[in-house]
Amino acid sequence: MSSIALSVAAQFAIGETAAPVAFDWFSYEGKDEVFQTPPPEGQFQNPILAGFYPDPTSVRVGDDFYAVSSSFTFFPGLPIFHSADLVNWEQIGHILDRPSQLTGTEGLAASRAIFAPTLRHHDGVFYLITTSVDAINNFYVTATDPAGPWSDPILLPWIDGIDPSLFFDDDGRVWVTHNGPPPNRDSLYEGHRAVWLWEMDMETGQPIGDGKIIINGGVDLSQKPVWIEAPHIFKRGDWYYLTCAEGGTSIQHSQVIFRTKSLDEEWIPWDNNPILTQRDLPADRKHPIIAAGHADFLELPNDEWWATFLAIRTYGEEGFYNTGREIYMLPISWTEDGWPMILERGKEIPWQLDKPNLPATTKSVPPTTGNFTWKDDFDSPELGYEWMYLRTPKDDWLEISDGKLKIQPKAVSLNELVNPSFISRRQQHATFDAATRFEAPAAGASAGVASFIREDHYFYCGVRLTENGYEAFLEKAANGPAEVVSSVKLPKLKPGQSVTLNIVTDQAEVSYSVETPNGKTVVVATNEDATILTTTRAWGFIGAMMGPYARLEK
């Protein structure tokens, strides 16, 4: 469990306060069609981590595997998972779980701050290097235990770019690669970027000598490749390999490969690039997986190689997706002359495939993919790892006690670039049910569930006390200011009584209802447009997040 639960002892400089709102539980049940048939014995389900877990990085340490994803402005940041078989993944914490590690999120839109990380291990120490865009920029942290604690950030101001990665060479030298500006900062076209290489002194965090560009533009500059990024160096035999994402993290996304015999020599691209993409497949195929790329490579103890990478599940003709970029996994094959291939062009990423040749784990872990039911009864004194704050909290507005999640309402709306009194978990399915039970808030406050993907793209279904008694309402922001699109009276509800809020989402449609203490179900809204919670419409780099929210009404 997380160590970030905050007490509600403090009062806030927001002009007025209201009593904390107590939530009894929160439940979630996934119902996606593509997951209706579980994988047969000996196979696993893609994605391995469903929902907003983009930009994956992974590492093997002995018989253990670890994976981390980007997290942007959400706190705690950088979720870290462990697996013994590459199939069953258990979250063991967050790398940035102290406010001192994730500063500068206030004032940033939700899709800024922590971009793509790289996780590596060397001589008993774990290293995580990443970028906090528009905040402290590039840095790394270290730990001897991947579950933490991790160090405070060690800043790397000399890196100009994003997606940094570490490579520990056999001779003891350490190298950093990253996405950076093209030669002389002279972009020949939009999306023209480069891959840079630096030697680094790990004791001082400083570069040794000057950096240099090792890839200009991508595989073939004459073809105007865009957004070469997420570079990772690894070694196999006598060859150094550099694998990168190319094409941008959308429908043109791909993974490419280069190699060289010496880091002082030219990097040669493979003639058969890309080694992973879905951009050539028919757009109208059933259950499409798109935007595959941003891969990291894993070598197993038995000499098998596997890749973790991001991809996207879409629905509808317009390619909607609420679940963000997710983590997938495929085996890597090697040609006779030593080139890796993740998936040949023209082939679809399989939803189910044979497991890696590893001992099966006997430990039961919460599911991270497929259709599952999840419930938090708030019976632990600390928040579960599933929950995240929107931006690093500065106020003590949340506690868990007496089997309840208690939220002190703040006068902060979801369209503001500060930390609202909102705690959220990932939407991991396009079709799902969610529900929560909470006490009717006191006068001057509202409480309920928010579903959020951007400051101007969200739903908030809540309950509040008006001059005419309690009402349930639905507030909606769809690429503009929020407005109340529905409100219904709850005439017999009294302060301190509990209501249950139900949310039913079927891909592009979402409905809300409230169960009152007398057992009556009151419909708040039906068949609202859930595509406002898709990255397709909202843009950005995150997936939809949802959970309890309480607010002082201004």
Contact (CB, 8 A) for 281 and 291: no
| Residue 502 exposure: Cα atoms within 13 Å on the Cβ side | 12
DSSP strand pairing (77-83 vs 74-75): unpaired
What tokens were used for 129? Answer: 């290097």
What tokens were used for 367? Answer: 């599911």
What phi, psi does 113 have (nearest 5°)?
Answer: 70, -120
Catalytic residue among 32, 55, 296, 475: 55
For residue 311, give the H/E element and its range: strand 305-313
Strand runs (DSSP E) across 33-146, as ranges? 43-45, 57-61, 64-68, 74-75, 77-83, 90-96, 113-114, 118-122, 125-133, 137-143
CA-angle at 78, arms to 547 and 106, nearest 5°: 65
> What is the torsional sign of CA 385, 391, 393, 398?
negative
Catalytic residue among 229, 395, 455, 528: 229
Residues making up the chain, counted from first to last: 554
Q: Catalytic annotation on 229?
A: yes
- Residue 222, judged by CB atoms within 10 A of its CB (0-12, 13-18, 19+), counts as exposed
Residue whose tokens read 């009593």: 19
Cis ω before 79 (30° cut-off from 0): no
Strand runs (DSSP E) across 1-108, as ranges? 21-30, 43-45, 57-61, 64-68, 74-75, 77-83, 90-96
Q: Catalytic annotation on 395?
A: no
In whole angstroms, give the CA distance from residue 256 to residue 148.
33
For residue 536, give the H/E element and its range: helix 535-538
Any idea which residues carry the catalytic annotation? 55, 229
